[in-house]
Amino acid sequence: MKEQNSIPASKVARSAKFVGTGIKIGGNYIKHYSKKIFNPDLTRDELNEDNANDIYSSLSELKGSALKVAQMLSMDKNILPKAYVDKFSLSQYNAPPLSGPLIMQTFKKNFGSTPDKIFDKFDLKSTNAASIGQVHRAELKGKKLAVKIQYPGVGGSISSDLKMVKPFAFRLLGMSEKELAVYMREVEERLLEETDYELEVENSLKISAACVHIPNLVFPTYYPELSGPKIITMSWLEGMHLKEFLATNPTQEVRNTIGQALWDFYNFQQHELRAVHADPHPGNFLITPDNKLGIIDFGCIKELPDSFYYPFFATTSTNLLNNREETIKAFRALEMILPKDNEAQIEFYYQTYKEMIALFAQPYTQGEFDFSKPEFFDSLYGFGEKIAKMPEFKQARGVKHFIYVNRTNFGLYNILNDLGATVKTDTYKPHLKDTF
């Protein structure tokens, strides 16, 4: 893959890139509708393919939050056409890498020295390049290391980038302006945290220590003394990303083992730590040669306050859902039912959300769950598509914590579906309250 020698850093340069992409997309629409005049049955497949290529090409050069949004969208398989999902998923671990001179510059800024003076060996060619940074192999005193380097200017461009991403998000997601504003504000807060590599090292040490008892999980060793605001050094974990792993045609038993480790990792954090690794995309995991799950990125951590945790997870319990009065109280606490709603609206949202949550909570209520079942995902996404078209859901509903918690749980479900895993879902149970 061709290396990048520079990243557009100024607002003007980044804005120009967005404008240029917008013009290309406009051209793609003109081309599509011109062809449709002569072929009324023409589908949008080619248009989606062209738009996905142009948007991804632009975002991958800009890096940072622009590319991160693409990465997040690629995980929401029910939102976007397949062409976007396929192309945007490259941002998980396969974006164009930075060139050697830019890497040297970053090291000099952080350590006052080049990598060859710090490590015994340092490979200038990156092994993985994603949205916020890229990873290089290194060695020091016989230890194999992974060195993650943040792209220059990523932190300073988050706010302005998200403003420029808005028009694409409007078109792709069909959200209302108010809903999009809440979404973007929460995304901005988490992204700012992701660019704080010192915070990431702190989170990595804390959460990996707390999860060390969970079977079949592996974490790198972190080296704070070789890390800084824009660089993280950790031990090198051997392994394959999910796509490569699945290409080896692993047995069902191995798939289940990996799936169980993933389920336990997420649910222990949610229910016992009340803070969760909120970036469950395949680029953040490795399957090691001895079939363990390696967790290699702790950049995005979402804390779950009690005011959200209890009403949210209470709805995964049939005890609560069968109690209309208490369920409505929980929905009010989560702002799914609003103070201004009249009786008819309260009943509508109660019934609709109850149906949706009953679907989402199926894995939690069965003790063991087969995530390979297409009917579960068809029902889940079919229901999502149905309510997306309802006028009652044009207005934003739900507290901001839903954005990352939903992203986390649906991301978890999607990876378990890709694995085709059957897992025991009662290993770490939600702490429940039946009254609110």
Q: Which residue has the tokens 């394959």?
A: 240
Are 245 and 376 within one domain? yes
Per-residue pLDDT, 244: 93
Rounded to the nearest 10 degrees, what angle do helices 374-388 and 401-419 cross at? Answer: 150
- pLDDT mean over 415-432: 93
Please report whether residue 143 resides in a domain: no
Q: Which residues contact 200 (CB under 8 A, 6 or more apart)?
A: 194, 232, 297, 298, 299
Work out the percent of the chain whose per-residue pLDDT is above 70: 68
Are 168 and 288 within one domain? no
Which tens digits make up the pLDDT trace of 45-96?
A: 554 565 555 555 555 554 444 555 544 444 444 444 444 444 444 444 444 5
Decide: residue 292, CB within 10 A, 0-12 exposed, 13-18 middle, 19+ buried. middle
Distances (CA, A) of 308 to 311, 317, 333, 425: 6, 15, 8, 21
- Let me know how many helices (H) and strands (E) the chain has, helices first: 18, 12
SS3 357: helix
Please report whether residue 224 resides in a domain: no
pTM for this model (two decimals):
0.75
Q: Which domain holds residue 27?
A: 11-96+164-175
Nearest to 65 by CA among 12, 13, 133: 133
Q: Average pLDDT of the chain?
A: 78
Q: Hey, what are 158's tokens?
A: 């988050």
Please report whether residue 112 resides in a domain: no
Please report whether residue 406 resides in a domain: yes
- Looking at 175, 205, 220, the residue that finishes a domain is 175
Which segments of 269-400 does DSSP mark as H helices, in order?
306-314, 318-321, 324-333, 343-360, 362-365, 374-388
Cα distance between residue 265 and residue 261, in whole Å: 6
Which segments of 112-241 does DSSP mark as H helices, in order?
115-118, 158-173, 177-194, 197-210
Are 171 and 249 within one domain? no
What are phi and psi for residue 175, nearest 5 degrees? -80, 155
Are 168 and 296 within one domain? no
Are 295 and 374 within one domain? yes
164-196 burial, b at 16+ Cβ within 10 Å, e below that, comes to bbbebbeebbebeeebbebbbebbbebbebbbb
Q: Are 84 and 74 in contact (CB under 8 A)?
A: yes
The DSSP secondary structure of 6-58, one letter per residue, reads ----SHHHHHHHHHHHHHHHHHHHHHHHHHHHH-TT--SHHHHHHHHHHHHHH
Which tens digits make up the pLDDT trace of 161-199?
A: 666 666 655 555 555 666 666 666 777 777 778 888 999
Domain count, the chain: 2
Q: Hey, what are 276's tokens?
A: 């969760």
Please report whether residue 113 resides in a domain: no
Cα distance between residue 155 and residue 183, in whole Å: 18
Nearest to 380 by CA among 350, 412, 349: 412
Are 289 and 168 within one domain? no
Angle in degrees, CA 220, 265, 336, rounded to 5: 130
Per-residue pLDDT, 110: 85
Please report whether residue 255 resides in a domain: yes
Please report whether residue 47 resides in a domain: yes
Which tens digits make up the pLDDT trace of 335-374?
A: 999 999 999 999 999 999 998 888 888 998 888 999 998 8
Radius of gyration of the chain (CA): 22
* More confident call, 423 vs 379: 423
Q: Which residues contact 385 (CB under 8 A, 6 or more apart)?
A: 78
